[in-house]
Structure 1
Amino acid sequence: MFADDFFHSIPLAAVYFFTVIMVIATMGFGLLLGRRYMRLLGSEKEPSIGSAVTATLGLLAFLLAFTFNMTAARYDKRKALLLDEVNAIHTAYLHADFLEPAAARKAQLLLLDYAELRFFHPRKDEITPEGLAKSVAIQDQLWAMVQQHVVQGYEPGYLRQFVEPVTAIINSHNSRIVIGLEYRIPGPIWIALYFLTGLAMLAIGFQFGVSKGGSGQLAVTLGLTFATVILLIADLDRATEGVIIVDQTPMAEMNLILEEAERQKIRSPAP
């Protein structure tokens, strides 16, 4: 959908400044409308305006909370999937010893390459189709080894010890792609969020105009407040951009563990 891609492609800095400008502009427009109303039609009952403003702000707060919970839950899911993949890779490396000796060594080397491929710096490294294709190619090689053992009639109990973590690696890969790169806040929710924000600021500005209150400082404060909340939501919605990014330290530490295991194998080769 065009709206989904559009909102996801806008830089976060642009999201922040656009929101600030929109809040100040709509509040200013509402202020002008309120003052014009007072000049043309006289006074307006204050309670009725206050009730409308309260209802609009309540709907906006509900939508902000709903959207924030959606992105926060997906952020937590990305962290859990990272840990699941780290554990699956490490387990598969250890359980490769259940395979035939030649196949076990090949599987461990493939898993070492896979772990290095899966570790990246979110702010420096770009996720490319080529990199994802390399991950899938290694998964295919690991699964081909499983199929080869099945054809040879290898002991099912031993083979299962390796099949389960390899299956977990494949599932984690697919889940991380979908949840991290494809799932995002739908465009209609973004449209509704900005529409309600503009409507709420327009109502507040109108109330200020009718009551002859309000100030420029208050408008700027509200603009910065709502812009910060919306920026936080947009940041959480993006897996590889912004400040709130899933820490890749567990994958880096697991890489170090596997590299140390390889050095141990080189220093103490199996008889």
Structure 2
Amino acid sequence: MPSPLRHPLFLFIVAFVAMSIGAYAGAALMRRHRQISDEAHDEARDEFNVVQAATLTLLALMIGFTFSMAVSRYDQRKNYEEEEANAIGTEYLRAGLLPDTDAQRVQTLLRRYLDQRIHYYQALDDDSIARVNAATNQLETELWTAVRNVAVERQTPVIALAVSGMNDVINTQGYTQASWWNHIPVAAWSLMLAIGLFCNVMIGYGTRGQIKRNAVLLVLPIVIGLSFALIADIDSPRGGLIRLVPVNLIALSQSLAPG
């Protein structure tokens, strides 16, 4: 997702400025072409109101659908965080079925791996994320190597259970990563911005009175800007005020025995 869409405050400012310009541009256009504001053209005014209402309804539907997309993605990230905590906790218990030396090594690696997964949810800048991802990949390699070596030496159903649990740990991390990369498409943002701009032009074109005194033209840009900012905040796990706290991973970390 492009970087501007990761910052709700920046998106609010851009949307508000663009919508305000559109509203006042429509009002300026109306002052030069006053046909629909004359009493002799009530029929044209009625037709304009129908088109304006339809356009505003379309904008409301677009905002509603986009908000639903953002919320569904946020819920998906929460669900994968819970699944990841369950997978790590289950594998930590299954690691106890391995021979003592291997069990201690795998459990130690799992505690370190769990710390990195918590850091992943709390990281904000690209450098921190890159370091966490590098450490996570290294730990996944070490964990898989540890259980694989035991499985090669002892091909028993109990060992297979531990190997299967490790596979779940690695898979859930991949699902989590994919859900964090899944954002609202840029095309949806562009279409919603274009419809919002057109709505504000029509609001300004249908207004009456002096442009400088008509502060009501700022109401719709503020509402649209806040709506866009809220959607971007929910859709951006790291860029806004609404953060996904890894409560399940933190609770699991606190429940595990110290190394």
TM-score (norm 1): 0.85
Change (3 A) 1:160 1:88: same
Contact 2:102 2:146 survives alignment (8 Å) = yes
Cα separation, partners in 2 of 1:174 and 1:40, compared to 1, 3 Å: closer
- Structure 2: stretches of 5+ with no match in the other structure: none
The 2-side partners of 1:50 and 1:40 are apart by: 10
Report the RMSD for the aligned CA atoms in angstroms. Answer: 2.3
Q: Output the CA distance in 1 between the equivalents of 2:3 and 2:197.
A: 19
| TM superposition shift of 1:160 | 3.2
* Mapped contact 1:31–1:205 kept (Cα < 8 A): yes
Partner-residue secondary structure (3-state), 1:245: coil
Partner of 2:194 in structure 1? Answer: 195
After superposition, the C-alpha distances for 1:121-171 in whole angstroms (9 at most, x for unaligned) are 636675422321211221122212222223213312x12332233222111
Seen in structure 2, the aligned counterparts of structure 1 residues 125 and 30 have a Cα distance that, compared at 3 Å, is closer
In the TM superposition, what is the alpha-carbon distance from 1:47 to its structure 2 partner? 1.1
Establish whether residue 16 from structure 1 lines up as the match of residue 12 from structure 2: yes
Distance 1:89 1:40 in 2: 67
Work out the CA distance in 1 between the residues paired with 2:95 and 2:234.
37
Partners in 1 of 2:37 and 2:242 — Cα distance? 50
CA distance 1:6–1:93, shift in 2 (3 Å)? closer
Shift of 1:221: 2.1
Which consecutive segments of 4 or more residues in structure 1 shift more than 6 A? none
Match of 1:55 in 2: 54
Instruction: Give the structure 1 partner of residue 179 of structure 2.
Output: 179
Number of residue-to-residue matches in the alignment: 253
How much does 1:41 deviate?
Answer: 9.6
**2:222 matched residue in structure 1:** 224
Aligned: 1:162 with 2:162: yes
- The corresponding residue for 1:34 is 30
Aligned to 1:268: none
Give the Cα separation in 2 of the matches to 1:77 and 1:39. 52
Q: Shift of residue 25 of structure 1?
A: 1.5
CA 39–162 in structure 1, closer or farther in 2 if over 3 Å, else same: same
Distance change in 2, residues 1:14/1:8 (3 Å): closer
TM-score normalized by the length of structure 2: 0.89
Residues 148, 163 of structure 2: 8 Å contact kept: no
Larger mean Cα displacement after TM superposition, 92-101 or 160-169: 160-169
1:146-157 to 2 correspondences below 5 Å: 146-156=147-157
Q: Which amino acid aligns with 1:64?
A: I
| Code of the aligned partner of 2:164 | E
* Cα distance in structure 2, aligned partners of 1:256 and 1:111: 13
Task: Give the whole-Å Cα distance in 2 for the aligned partners of 1:8 and 1:86.
Answer: 29
Q: Work out the CA distance in 2 between the residues paired with 1:15 and 1:218.
A: 22
Structure 1: unaligned runs, 5 residues or longer: 264-271
CA distance in 1, matches of 2:168, 2:241: 29
For 2:143, the equivalent position in structure 1 comes to: 142
- Asked if 2 retains the 8 angstrom alpha-carbon contact of 1:68 and 1:233, the reply is yes
Distance 2:37 2:95 in 1: 82
1:267 paired residue number: none
Structure 1 residues 23, 84: CA separation in 2 closer, same or farther (over 3 Å shift)? same
CA contact (8 A) 1:107 1:142 kept: yes
Q: 1:110 and 2:109 equivalent?
A: yes
Of stretches 35-44 and 53-62 in structure 1, the one that deviates more from structure 2 is 35-44
1:154-192 per-position Cα deviation (integer Å, ceiling 9, x unaligned): 312x12332233222111211221211x22122211111
Partner of residue 245, structure 2: 247
